[in-house]
Structure 1
Amino acid sequence: MAVGAMASVQTAAAASTGLFGSVGPAGSAWLRLCFAALVFVAVARPKVWALPRADLGWSIVLGGVTGAMTVLYVESIARIPLAMATALEFLGPLAVAVLRRTGRWGLVWPALALAGVLALTRPWQGGADLVGVLLALGAAFCWGAYILLTQRVGERLPGVQGLAISLPAAALATAVVGLPQALPGISAQVLWQAAALALLLPVLPFTLELLALRRLPSAVFGVLMCLEPAMAVLVGLVLLGQVPAAVQLAGIVLVIVAGVGAGRTAKA
């Protein structure tokens, strides 16, 4: 389930770049979230009034984090290569694993991840888009919070009830930045494309991740997510023609190794 979610995320992220010219990065993210919200509400039909306030509150918080993560990520891939953005965003799951480490060896992995980030961004050359890097790091923070919140909500609400609340909240939260970008370029073709992409991201991966996090500890889930940067390299190469430099590939490998190591030393 986790691997399927990763493949879906990266394919949709690459395909979404085709909408950037019409509705902008944030606009494309907002449209996908809107369609995804409609799907989950139609499927789950959540009885919001019957939920405990705490469960409803955590679902809304998850929605805010989901919206921020989605917009920050697409804005980053509009500025930097897909593989670089994904590797930087992966620092979020890595941080979750590091915070749950057991023993001192867990402290080695952040240093290894930092070396990987430096190899990816190559600050000594000044070639990386700083805004894109910062946006990806913001998405990383949100991804770490998303994992913890999704696990909490998934444990408390059955089926996809949590997503049927969090996705509408995410669409509302991102309308502030997404609607102004999207409105001038909305057309029937754009709406059909956004609806199709919404199935790939976020409907399919968010559902798979929710189900996976019900069965796996968050630290183990974070280890599985180590494959995401490698998946991004493959998708970026095939669909976008983005060929990373050798030192950047080395950086991606370092980030992946740091993630695996952090997961192995994390508490179950």
Structure 2
Amino acid sequence: MQNSRFASLLPVLAVLGSVTSLSIGTSYAKNLFPIIGAQGTSALRVGFSALFLLLLWRPWRWHTSRADGAAILRYGLTLGLMNLLFYMALRTIPFGIAVAIEFTGPLAVAMFSSRRPIDFVWVGCALVGLVLLLPLDGGQALDPVGVLYALGAAFCWALYIIFGKRAGHLHAGHSVSLGLLAASLVVVPVGVAHAGMALLEPKILLAGFVVAVVSSAIPMSLEMMALKRLPKETFGILISMEPAVAALWALLLLHEHLTGLQWLAIGCTVLASAGSTLTARRRPPPAIAAS
């Protein structure tokens, strides 16, 4: 009985571990910004992640048609730009807030695909959260440039989902490894242009490798394991906790203190994401042929 309970709890722990690992890795990555900048840090993260997944999955084993190659290229280039813009946002706005703003991208994709009345409730929650975060009153709470970078990352995340669906028929290892290779074509040249030879210092390379493993390799592995064992709606609800988890780890590791309104804004984003996942229109399961 205890073993069965642990087995059912394991995928939930995997998702929570993924979100936690991503938050810790990104918090650690921020410490590299004064040395190699957000651009250099993003280059190391994406570059090492691409190498790791290429060696793990060896995508050259699969045939890639011209249409699939084009889909993977669009998916990967968008992924690279999303990572770069997100790290640029982290230079001037807190981690948890950047994640909350970025989450509006996938939320927008989910909302545009449905027109049921309940969805407008989640749209309202997301808009309230976004309005509470945006520096619309000209105050000094958030840097407008950082917010624009985070909104750019949100837009890229929306495109990433759309382009990713077009490559969804491929094996995950095939599309993700080649997608990250394409992403590195965007991020690595920008990082090299900004940080130059500093990226090749042994300590920096080691730190970049740690960032890639903790914020990319471990979370992606845990998510793939969880997706095989959890319903997609349950997985989506758990992932919705990411802005709050990111804010908590940023508070512990980076001492990024948020105001009450900012925590409320993050809560609205989490509620919108979890709610839209919970009430998403379910497609009827396919008929099973009699054996």
Same fold (TM over 0.5): yes
Match of 1:88 among 81, 101, 112: 101
Residues 206-225 of structure 1 mapped to structure 2, 5 A cutoff: 206-210=220-224, 221-225=235-239
Query: C-alpha distance in 1, partners of 2:232/2:24?
Result: 24
2:142 is the counterpart of 1:126: no
Query: C-alpha distance in 1, partners of 2:109/2:26?
Result: 23
Deviates more, 1:6-15 or 1:74-83: 6-15
Where does structure 1 lack aligned partners over 5 or more consecutive residues? none
2:116 is the counterpart of 1:103: yes
Query: C-alpha distance in 1, partners of 2:274/2:58?
Result: 38
Alignment partner, residue 44 of structure 1 = 57
SS at match of 1:257: helix
Q: In the superposition, relative to structure 1, how do residues 111 and 232 fare at CA in structure 2: closer, same or farther (>3 Å)?
A: same
Compute the displacement of 1:88 (Å): 0.4
Q: In the superposition, relative to structure 1, how do residues 216 and 62 fare at CA in structure 2: closer, same or farther (>3 Å)?
A: farther
Match of 1:138 among 140, 149, 152: 152
Deviations 1:59-92 (A, max 9, x none): 2222111101111111101110111101101112
Q: Which amino acid aligns with 1:163?
A: V
Where does structure 2 lack aligned partners over 5 or more consecutive residues? 1-13, 283-291
Compute the displacement of 1:52 (Å): 2.0
Compute the displacement of 1:112 (Å): 2.0
| Alignment RMSD | 2.3
Compute the displacement of 1:212 (Å): 5.2
TM-score, structure 2 normalization: 0.83
Deviations 1:12-59 (A, max 9, x none): 111001111111101110111111111111112222782222222222
TM-score, structure 1 normalization: 0.89
Deviations 1:150-205 (A, max 9, x none): 4553x422251212211111111223422111214221100011011111122222
Compute the displacement of 1:105 (Å): 2.2
Alignment partner, residue 71 of structure 2 = 58
Query: C-alpha distance in 2, partners of 1:162/1:211?
Result: 17
Percentage identity across paired residues of the two chains: 34
- Higher radius of gyration, 1 or 2: 2
